[in-house]
Amino acid sequence: MNIGFVLCGVMVIPFASIGILFSIFKEKAAKFVSGFNSLPKEEQALYDKAFISRDIRNQCFIWAAIMLIGAVLSYFVTTYMAIPAYIVWLILFFKEVHLDAHKAFEKYLRK
C-alpha cells in the first residue's frame, strides 16, 4: 500500500469539496470563514464578501491541486513525493493564518 498516495489523496477530497461549496454559494459562503463569522454584522458589512469567498475558493483549489500532484507523483514515482507536497501546502497554509481577525481580513476591506 502506497501511504504517500493515500495521505495526499485523502486531502484532495475536502479541499476540492470546500472549493466547490465556495464556488456555488459565492458571497453567502463568507459566513463559514473562521473569524469572519464572529465579527459583528455592522463590521461584516465593511468587507467584500465576494472577494473573501473567491479567495478561499482559490486557496482550496490550489491546495487540492498540490495534494493531487503529490498523490500522482507518490503513486508513479516514489511514496516520498508526499513529503514535498505537504511541505508546500504547509507553507501556503501558514502564510494565510492570522491570529487577529482584523489583520486577517484587512485586505478584504471595501474601498
User: Distance between CA atoms of 68 and 74, rounded to whole angstroms?
Assistant: 10
With contact defined as beta carbons under 8 Å apart, do 105 and 47 qualify?
yes
Amino acid making up residue 99: L
- pTM of structure: 0.90
Task: Report the amino acid identity of residue 19.
Answer: G
pLDDT in tens, 56-107: 999 999 999 999 999 999 999 999 999 999 999 999 999 988 888 778 888 9
Owning domain of residue 39:
3-108
Give the whole-angstrom CA distance, residue 73 versus residue 104: 33
Count structural domains, the chain. 1
* Contact yes or no for 59/3 (Cβ under 8 A): no
DSSP 39: S
Kindly compute the dihedral angle of the four CA atoms of residues 20, 16, 43, 51, in this order, to the nearest 10 degrees: -70
pLDDT digits (tens, 9 = 90+) for 31-46: 899 888 888 889 899 9
Pull the grid cell for residue 31.
Answer: 459566513
**Partners of 47 in the beta sheet?**
109
Unique residue bearing C-alpha cell 478561499? 56
Tell me, what's the pLDDT at 1?
Answer: 80
